[in-house]
A and B are shown apart, each in its own frame.
Chain A
Amino acid sequence: MEFILILIAAVFVNNIVLSQFLGICPFFGVSNKVSTSVGMSGAVLFVMTLATLATYLLYEFVLVPSGLDYLRTITFILVIASLVQMVEIVLKKVSPPLYQALGVFLPLITTNCAVLGVAILALGMEDGSLLKAVFFAVANSVGFALALIVFASIRERLELVDLPKGMQGVPINLLVAGLLSLAFLGFTGLV
């Protein structure tokens, strides 16, 4: 039951992109086609889960016992950066088309604040455990995927719309994201 609550809260109520504003760069950057957004979501799911697992263990069993918890930010970003490198190497070998599609955005997962953000948020959970933290990461990446894919589908149609000049590009994308966020606001109070 507790896990279902975490899932619903992370996906709908506190959606990581639309209500917590984490991972906005890939949200706008790779959302012009549904197929790339699916690939990006997969990469984020993989990296976010592994990163939270690694950082949680590191924090609980290395940093806190040795009184070095102020080094949290530095160690976490290093762990995430090396994980991303690893995913990049694996993806290059296993699935070259996907690697081609994600191109420049894969290294950018390092600076995807959603990954670091979730790793930090997972530490602050009520009576947290390793299992809960990892599940929290999975739930959040599902939320990220949902927001990204819905947004990409809308943007594909938006290309056919005739817009006033100043509104084209960034402003209209932000406006659509705002309406999407408004829709997700409707889930408030669900959990």
Chain B
Amino acid sequence: MADKLNQKENFLKGIIKDNPVFVMLLGMCPTLGVTSTAFNGLGMGIATLFVLLMSNIVVSIIKKQIPSKVRIPAFIIIIASFVTIVEMVLEAYIPFLFEQLGIFIPLIVVNCLILGRAEAFASKNNIVSSIVDALGMGIGFTIALTLLGAGREILGSGSLFDFRFVSEDANTFILFILPPGAFIALAYLTYLFNRFTAKTN
């Protein structure tokens, strides 16, 4: 029972208390770079979730075999292998998303979130906890990216998941789909998140 409760907390911490985007500020490059629409944010979130999950599983299985001196390069190779898989699968089956995400797909390798979880969590915990941790963190990351993408898409293009609710020629805040809008939207979203968590605590 105690173990079960522990897993629940382990899962939830990635979504609220240690949210990778709003609290820990990890993986900021894709967060800002691809979130001009909600769909791109969701796609990036799921791609990252997959890599994070697989790398956490592999690292937690072979953690005893990796000498601690070369653990970082070893983790990076594990992560890079899964990123290559994601890259090839996306190119073959979802070329539209592959083009939209562009350079940010190979750059999942250097997403500090994934290396950070491998180092701080999966290399110290068993496989079940590592899977739960990866799911929590990955879903927290996906939610943050989708929220940011949705906010920017609504304000910038007047649509959500490509569903338009203003007319073609309506004036929208184009600023929000341009680069500065990414910073500004995330600034206010983090502010709201801080307000929200301050209240619930």
Chain A residues proximal to chain B, CB less than 8 Å:
18-25, 28, 70-74, 77-78, 81, 107-108, 110-113, 116-117, 120-121, 166-167, 170-175, 177-179, 181-182, 185
Q: Is the interface of B mostly helix, strand, loop or mixed?
A: helix
- Which of the segments B1-9, B103-111, B133-141 contacts the partner chain? B103-111
Judging by beta carbons under 8 Å apart, are A70 and B28 in contact?
A: no
Judging by beta carbons under 8 Å apart, are B112 and A25 in contact?
A: yes
Pick the residue among A25, A73, A113, A167 that contacts B80 (CB under 8 A).
Answer: A73
Judging by beta carbons under 8 Å apart, are A117 and B32 in contact?
A: no
Give the complex CA separation of A120 and B190 in angstroms: 31
Q: Is the interface of A mostly helix, strand, loop or mixed?
A: helix
Give the complex CA separation of A18 and B33 in angstroms: 10
Pick the residue among B32, B76, B184 that contacts A110 (CB under 8 A).
Answer: B76
Pick the residue among B30, B83, B190, B195 that contacts A170 (CB under 8 A).
Answer: B190
Pick the residue among A20, A72, A81 that contacts B106 (CB under 8 A).
Answer: A72
Judging by beta carbons under 8 Å apart, are A116 and B110 in contact?
A: yes
The distance from the CB of B123 to the nearest CB of chain A, in whole angstroms, is: 16
**Chain A hits for B194, CB < 8 A:** 166, 171
Give the complex CA separation of A23 and B107 in angstroms: 11
**Chain B hits for A167, CB < 8 A:** 191
Give the complex CA separation of A34 and B76 in angstroms: 31
Judging by beta carbons under 8 Å apart, are B198 and A18 in contact?
A: no
The distance from the CB of A75 to the nearest CB of chain B, in whole angstroms, is: 9
The distance from the CB of B131 to the nearest CB of chain A, in whole angstroms, is: 23
- The residue in A18, A172, A174 that gathers the most chain B C-beta atoms within 10 A of its C-beta is A174
Judging by beta carbons under 8 Å apart, are B29 and A21 in contact?
A: yes
The total of interchain contacts (Cβ-Cβ below 8 angstroms) comes to 116
**Chain B hits for A110, CB < 8 A:** 72, 76, 110
Given contacts A24-B29, A113-B29, are A73 and B183 in contact (CB under 8 A)?
no
Residues of B32-85 at the interface with A, using a CB-CB cut-off of 8 Å, are: 32-33, 72-73, 76-77, 80-81, 83-84
Given contacts A21-B29, A178-B181, A182-B180, are A116 and B109 in contact (CB under 8 A)?
yes
B95 beta carbon closer than 8 Å to chain A: no
B166 beta carbon closer than 8 Å to chain A: no
**Chain A hits for B184, CB < 8 A:** 174-175, 178-179
Give the complex CA separation of A78 and B180 in angstroms: 33
19 more contacts with CB within 8 A, not counting A28-B25, A107-B72, are: A21-B28, A21-B32, A21-B33, A25-B25, A25-B26, A70-B88, A73-B106, A74-B81, A77-B110, A78-B80, A81-B76, A108-B112, A111-B112, A111-B115, A170-B25, A173-B187, A178-B182, A182-B175, A182-B180
**Chain A hits for B191, CB < 8 A:** 166-167, 171
B18 beta carbon closer than 8 Å to chain A: no
Judging by beta carbons under 8 Å apart, are B73 and A81 in contact?
A: yes
Judging by beta carbons under 8 Å apart, are A181 and B107 in contact?
A: no
| Closest Cβ neighbor of B198 among chain A residues | A166
